[in-house]
Structure 1
Amino acid sequence: MAKNLDASTGGLVAKDYTDPPPAPLVDWEELGCWSFYRALIAEFIATLLFLYVTVATVIGYKHQSDAEVFPEDVACAGVGVLGIAWAFGGMIFILVYCTAGISGGHINPAVTFGLFLARKVSLVRALFYMVAQCLGAICGVGLVKAFQKAYFMRYGGGANRLSDGYSKGTGLAAEIIGTFVLVYTVFSATDPKRNARDSHVPVLAPLPIGFAVFMVHLATIPITGTGINPARSLGSAVLYNQEKAWDDQWIFWAGPFIGAAIAAAYHQYVLRAGAAKALGSFRSNTHV
């Protein structure tokens, strides 16, 4: 069993958990495994379903709350911002629960990027996952557009964009912080150290992840419409294909990737003491 330094006694104690070994930086052997392609299919379908349900919810709400269509009911029509946030958080909960055992349930290039930086997945898997997620997002939004094209184009295609009155810096900061909350939650909910101390955590892991998405949407829908997922932002922009959606697109890639990188560094090097362990190893080697 692995050993760990006990700060209170200065001695070594047995760890009740095992950290998985780091994933290879480049693992070409994955390309020859059916499990790898099964995981890609799972990520594609999960992201497709995620975008279909959530963008359809956004379009439906905007239609039901359109004063020109329903002037008498506009004050209390539709699911509201709270309902949209629940749609995003609820779908993430469902889809992570369904796909975690197959692909890890990323459903988001920013999550994949954060896990890659933490050496949880190889570069090959990370790149293929991102492609599958983006394609799934485009197809999911495509279904919404196919079923209700007139409403889709009238109400902005569910595309993320910076709201009037907010600067690009504010939008970028909102995306960075929002994605940090999400990816930090992913790391915490799937930490083997936590799992070892409470055996029911793996079953509940999708729940805090879904709640993180829900809470971030409540905070950032008024600012950017909430991206925190580059595939989600890209899918709507591709199908809506209007200038405003593309003008702000960089925010919905730079923000999530920066936020994911910060979350990965915080969890690995601060909470899991990766920096201290590396420093301790370096010091011990200098005395050999």
Structure 2
Amino acid sequence: MIFVLVYCTAGISGGHINPAVTFGLFLARKVSLIRAVGYMVAQCLGAICGVGLVKAFMKRYYDSLGGGANEVAPGYSKGTALGAEIIGTFVLVYTVFSATDPKRSARDSHVPVLAPLPIGFAVFMVHLATIPITGTGINPARSFGAAVIYNERKAWHDHWIFWVGPFVGALAAAAYHQYILRAAAIKALGSFRSNPSN
């Protein structure tokens, strides 16, 4: 589903559908502050509407599954849950950077990359790893929409984890991609050009 949503909205808004992705791209100076805030507000409103529709059409399942609200699973600490959200979001946002990097597209033009596909797979893999821990947030809008509609104490109890974790993960991915990888690539290119044997 993420593949489909990103594919369908990429030409309109860049296919972010996630405040953490928007935040990462803002940090990388690929999105302006005004646009980033607008996207995040729209993402949260869309999530609220989406969860409202789920509740309206699937009330029995909605109630039995706790409204899809994220929470720290029994047996896991808040620190573990926060770590899972940070790492999971790092994987997602780093995949977004890698799949949409125009320099990579130019360099690897012989390898066609349909950006929404690796992004969708990244979300799938992160879900497999983190559902048992937090129910998989990695998208603050989704977590917020579920909490707003379900609106019971358990939905809000550790809600901060589902904002702080994804934003820290996005910050780490943006820093890694923009400053570590790019700096290494520039340094390698510089040494290649300065080598007299080439």
Q: TM-score, normalised by structure 1?
A: 0.63
The equivalent position to 2:107 in structure 1, one of 197, 218, 233, is 197
Q: In structure 2, how many angstroms separate the alpha carbons of the residues matched to 1:136 and 1:160?
A: 17
TM-aligned CA distance change 1:244 to 1:122, over 3 Å:
same
Alignment match, 2:132 = 222
Measure how far apart 1:235 and its partner are: 0.7
Question: Between Structure 1 and Structure 2, how many residues are aligned?
Answer: 188
* Mapped pair 1:144 → 2:54: yes
1:122 and 2:50 aligned: no
Deviation per CA, 1:46-76: give whole Å up to 9, x if none. xxxxxxxxxxxxxxxxxxxxxxxxxxxxxxx
The more displaced of 236-245 and 109-118 is: 236-245
Q: Name the CA distance, whole Å, in 2 between partners of 1:201 and 1:216.
A: 25
Contact 2:84 2:133 in 1 (8 A): yes
Give the structure 2 partner of residue 66 of structure 1. Answer: none
> CA separation in 2, counterparts of 1:200 and 1:134?
38
Q: Contact conserved, 1:190 with 1:202, CA < 8 A, in 2?
A: no
* 1:157 pairs with one of 35, 49, 67: 67
Partner Cα distance (1:202, 1:108) in 2:
25
Look up the SS of the partner of 1:227 in the other structure.
Answer: coil
Higher relative contact order (CA 8 A, sep 6+): 2
Q: Work out which of the residue numbers 96, 120, 123 in structure 2 matches 1:213.
A: 123
Inter-CA distance 190–200: structure 2 relative to 1 (3 Å threshold): farther
* 2:20 paired with 1:97: no
> Which of residues 170, 176, 179 in structure 1 aligns to 2:86?
176
Q: TM-score, normalised by structure 2?
A: 0.90
Distance 1:97 1:203, change over 3 A: farther
Larger Rg: 1
| CA pair 275-243 structure 1, distance change in 2 beyond 3 A | farther
| Structure 2 residue ranges without an equivalent (≥5) | 191-198
Shift of 1:144: 0.5
Shift of 1:198: 3.3
Contact 2:99 2:113 in 1 (8 A): no
8 Å Cα contact 1:137/1:232 also seen in 2: yes
Offset, 1:155: 2.0
User: What is the distance in 2 between the residues matched to 1:177 and 1:238?
Assistant: 25
Question: Closer, same or farther in 2 for the Cα pair 1:159/1:94, shift >3 Å?
Answer: same
Query: Could you tell me which of 238, 243, 256 is aligned with 2:153?
Result: 243
RMSD: 1.8
Structure 2: how far apart are the matches of 1:93 and 1:200?
22
- Once the two structures are TM-superposed, the CA of residue 150 in structure 1 deviates from its matched residue by 3.3
Once the two structures are superposed, residues 129-180 of structure 1 have per-residue CA deviations (whole angstroms, 9 ceiling, x without a partner) of: 0000000000000001111223312320011110000000000000000000
